[in-house]
Amino acid sequence: MVGGWSAANFRGVVLLASAYVALSFAFSFVGFVAQQPTVHFHEYSLPEAIVELGGHFLFGAVAAAPFLGVWKSLLCGAFAIGIDADHVLGSLNLNVSSRPDHSFFFAAFAALAIWSVVRLQRNRPLGQPSQVAVLVPVAFLSHLSYDVFAAFQVFSGVGYSFPILSPLSFSLFAFPYWTWVPLEASALILSTVFAIWFRPRASQ
């Protein structure tokens, strides 16, 4: 059953989350298009990393709550964490533009890619391709929301600017602190709209 506790659902989450991280890391190579001097700072101590990962997961899982499925919430939380695979190249002290995955184009690319992955599956324990792919923009909005929230509440105002138009433009757009609320609200609204839209079409 979609949303039930089963090994198939667990495997589905692991497979799709792994595919998403691979997509996120692959897309991050567009950062070489607009190289920056190696000024990337190592943001996180271990406690801060735990807070960062937990915060992203929580915001993503809550944003997917309207789907009324624990596995969809787990997957959305994993997607929200996976976006930060674009930190890897910078942490290796390579001259790349920072955080290229924090863009609308990555969200669109990843949604299409996840739709394709699910479509190739014989068994679809988490739902049909469009029902899973919509979690990508939901996770993206929730990720930006937590980044803005944590920038001011955890990291003293660092990291609230994003290249949201990369790879067309690597200019950074700053988000004021209050925008974390409408960003997370937008993720919840998107989830609610599609949860209602898909419900009559759900197989179970």
- The pLDDT tens digits of the residues spanning 91-101 come to 888 888 878 99
Average pLDDT over all residues of the chain: 88
Number of domains in the chain: 1
Alpha helices in the chain (DSSP H): 7-27, 46-63, 70-82, 88-91, 104-120, 129-133, 135-153, 180-198
Residue 69: inside a domain: yes
- The pLDDT tens digits of the residues spanning 145-202 come to 999 999 888 877 666 889 999 999 999 999 999 999 999 999 999 999 999 998 865 4
Residue 45: inside a domain: no
Q: What is the C-alpha to C-alpha distance for residues 91 and 120, in angstroms, rounded to an integer?
A: 34
Residue 96: inside a domain: yes
For the entire predicted model, the pTM comes to 0.90
- The pLDDT tens digits of the residues spanning 69-109 come to 899 999 999 999 999 999 888 888 888 887 899 999 999 99
For residue 64, the enclosing domain spans: 7-32+50-201
Residue 2: inside a domain: no
Rounded-to-10 torsion of CA 117, 120, 124, 126? 10
